[in-house]
Amino acid sequence: MIFTTLEFKKGGSYPSYLEAVGLMKKYRFLVVFLIFIMVFSSAVSGGTKDSSDKIYEKFQPFFQALQYIISEYYQKDINVDSLVNESIRGLVRGLGDPFSHYFDPQESVEMSIQTKAEYGGLGIEVTYTHNGFLKVISPMDDTPAFYAGIKPGDIIITIDASPVDQMTYLEAVNRLRGKSGTKVTIEVLRKGNRQPLKFTITRKVIKLKTVKYTIIPTDLGNVGYVRLTQFSGPTASDLARELKVLYAQDIKGIILDLRNNPGGLLSSAIDVASDFIDVGNVIVSVKDRNGYEDTYRSHGNSYPDLPMVVLVNGGSASAAEIVSGALKDHHIATLVGEKTFGKGSVQSPIKLSNGGEIWLTVAHYFTPSGKDIHGKGIMPDVVVHQTEEATQTATSVENAKAIEEGRNLTSEKANVDLKTDIQLRKALDILKEKISHTQKDAA
């Protein structure tokens, strides 16, 4: 997903004005939502009266249904927040665009954590169990949960004495989070223990690492391996710092692993690509529905050019495709793996008065060679499919891999397995060929 920002022009007149005002006076808690619907309709129509009237007319059944729910529904205590959230969710879903979404206030907090890559909490990756509890996938390295002794498989049954199965998933997660320095007490069920275990843990700022790196020794010298898990706020600065570490170890080439990277911030993708593309060269162009085009260029490459290979697959999407597409079009890197996902659209977050956000597709992006890859993806230079044997091996150790990945969310260490990862092995072979040619040319 590519994230950017946008402002809508507001305008137009309200439909059935007297009726709307009557509803506002009687049900003041619905005012903001009604205004949102009207403003949204005006924005979509461009604010012209004729087209606005047609949209308002189409929305009359909605207002009628809302009026009947408020006045006739058997239960008087209606969860208005739920009505608002589900109505907006349905409105956006009606676009038929799988990349436009509505995030309610709690979900917006989750999105903020993803883009900022940090939060106050314990440092555990959890999942929801079938009976409504939280199961620990793994404590993250060097976090309060890790040092407190929380283990993979622990079932969290209470948070500050409140039963977890009486909360929603996000409610439970939000209770675990909090300001750094505050305490939270949890009870967990652990296999082999008859009684629940109680832990009182002090929260701290958890910083998620989206850049992992390591050195792969070869007979031609050290190769730097870098994996980006997503494009968050700190990704570019973390990458710059770790590239300095790798270059200090006299690496002869770089493997950039963008497999299963779902994307993230457009600004982060521009900054990451700039580390490898000379100043002024086009990284990506973004074009909106009115044909307005904005071109983003490299800020400048701060590092010596080295032979490079980029790993991609069907899970490489959006910002990951911007970076891989730019590196391919400028002939900086050889792409190895499988065709990318093909998400070439830009989503703009628009904050609503209830704390929720709508993320609307507002533009498509184009690679430096002018390709719109939306729905098509990027074909690598060298196609390498995972073998059935490798897939079965990965499936058989899925739980162990999930635990390892959970631990590494706060770690900069990258784990590589040349024995089972045939795509990485092929990438290394291609990179060694490029290094060999470079060394011969230098001689």
Tens of pLDDT, residue by residue, the chain (443 residues):
555 433 333 333 333 333 444 444 444 445 545 555 555 555 554 555 666 678 878 888 988 898 888 888 888 888 888 999 999 999 999 999 888 889 998 888 878 877 788 889 999 988 888 888 999 988 888 899 999 999 989 999 999 999 999 988 878 888 999 999 999 999 999 998 989 999 999 999 988 889 999 999 999 999 999 999 989 999 999 999 999 999 999 999 999 999 988 888 899 999 999 999 999 999 999 999 898 999 999 998 878 899 999 999 998 999 999 999 999 999 999 999 999 999 998 888 899 999 999 989 999 999 999 999 898 999 999 999 976 555 444 444 456 666 666 667 778 888 898 989 999 999 999 999 999 988 777 65
Report residue 314: phi and psi, to 5°.
Answer: -65, -15
State the pairing for strand pair 282-288/211-218: unpaired
Specify the CATH class of 118-207 in words.
mainly beta
Q: What is the rounded distance in angstroms from the CA atom of residue 267 to the CA atom of residue 207?
A: 19
Name the H helices within 30-162.
31-45, 49-72, 80-93, 105-116, 144-148
Any idea which residue has 């703009």 for tokens? 348
* Residues in Cβ contact with 87 at an 8 Å cutoff, skipping those fewer than 6 apart: 33, 62
Beta-bridge mates of residue 383: 337
pLDDT of residue 62: 87
CATH number attached to the domain at 211-342+377-442: 3.90.226.10
Beta-carbon contacts of residue 134 (< 8 Å; ≥ 6 apart): 126, 127, 128, 155, 156, 164, 169, 172, 173, 176
Per residue in 424-435, pLDDT (tens digit) is: 999 999 999 999
Tokens standing for residue 260? 């299963």
pLDDT 10s digits, 95-126:
998 888 899 988 888 788 777 888 899 999 88
Q: Given this model, what pLDDT does residue 25 score?
A: 40
Candidates 42, 78, 48, 83; CA nearest to 63 is 83
User: What's the Cα-to-Cα distance from 408 to each of 128, 246, 261, 293, 394, rounded to whole Å?
Assistant: 20, 19, 15, 39, 18
Q: Which pLDDT score, from 0 to 100, does residue 117 have?
A: 80
What's the rounded Cα separation, in Å, for the pair 136 and 124? 7
- Please say whether the beta carbons of 149 and 199 come within 8 A: yes
pLDDT at 394: 46
Q: What's the pLDDT at 389?
A: 53
Q: What is the pLDDT of residue 13?
A: 34
Coil/strand/helix, residue 46: coil
Task: Give the pLDDT confidence score for residue 21 in this predicted structure.
Answer: 40
Nearest to 281 by CA among 301, 305, 265: 301
* Number of neighbours of residue 138 by Cβ within 10 angstroms: 24
Exposed, middle or buried by CB within 10 Å (0-12, 13-18, 19+), for 427? buried
**What is the DSSP annotation of 325-347?**
HHHHHTTS-EEEES------EEE
**Given this model, what pLDDT does residue 131 score?**
87
Listed in order, strand segments (DSSP E) in 100-167 are 101-103, 118-121, 124-128, 134-139, 155-159, 162-163
Q: Which residues are catalytic?
A: 318, 329, 343
Residue among 277, 196, 263, 275 nearest 231 (CA)? 263
The pLDDT value recorded for residue 386 is 76
Question: Residue 263 and residue 320: Cα distance in Å, rounded?
Answer: 5
Q: pTM for the full model?
A: 0.76
Q: Give the pLDDT score at 19.
A: 41
Provide Rg for the chain, Cα atoms: 25
As a whole number of angstroms, the distance between CA 88 and CA 41 comes to 12
Contact by Cβ (8 Å): 206, 120: yes
Q: Which of 437, 334, 323, 331 is nearest to 383 (CA)?
A: 334
pLDDT, residue 38, reads 52
The domain segmentation of the chain, as residue ranges, is 2-98, 118-207, 211-342+377-442
Give the whole-angstrom CA distance, residue 363 versus residue 291.
Answer: 9
